[in-house]
């Protein structure tokens, strides 16, 4: 699942239609959920708006965060094989 600060319409257009992602995206334009995970990037340079920092989480069925990767670098994300290997090592 992904969470985007964009509106539902923009998320649908950019993430699903243009980028071709096939997983569920939730829209969080008020940053309510993004703030709960401490992922707000204040005053992004290009737009001046508060946006979400890139992050990946593995959350178990009880809602416990088992692993997270949070970065300030918008071009650095976890590789799929890294996430799968981490998931395999979790109890």
Measuring CA to CA, which residue among 65, 34, 66 is closest to residue 50? 34
Q: Which domain holds residue 65?
A: 2-89
Query: How confident is residue 6, by pLDDT bands cut at 50, 70 and 90?
Result: confident
| CB contact at 8 A, 5 and 34 | yes
Sign of CA dihedral 62, 78, 11, 38: positive
When divided into structural domains, the chain yields a total of 1
Confidence of residue 10 (pLDDT cuts 50, 70, 90): confident
- Give tens-digit pLDDT for 18-65: 888 888 888 888 989 888 888 888 876 667 678 788 888 888 888 888
At 70 the three-state DSSP class reads strand
CATH number for position 85? 3.40.30.10
| Number of helices followed by number of strands (H, E) in the chain | 3, 6
User: Which is more confidently placed, 42 or 81?
Assistant: 81
| Residue of higher predicted confidence among 17 and 48 | 17
């Amino acid at each position: 699942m992904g969470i985007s600060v964009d509106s539902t319409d923009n998320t649908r257009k950019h993430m699903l239609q243009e980028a071709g992602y096939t997983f569920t995206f939730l829209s969080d334009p008020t940053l309510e959920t993004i703030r709960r995970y401490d992922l707000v990037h204040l005053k992004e340079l290009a737009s001046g708006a508060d946006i979400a920092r890139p992050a990946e989480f593995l959350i178990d069925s009880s809602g416990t965060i088992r692993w997270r990767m949070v970065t300030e670098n918008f071009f650095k994300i976890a590789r799929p094989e890294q996430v799968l290997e981490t998931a395999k090592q979790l109890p």
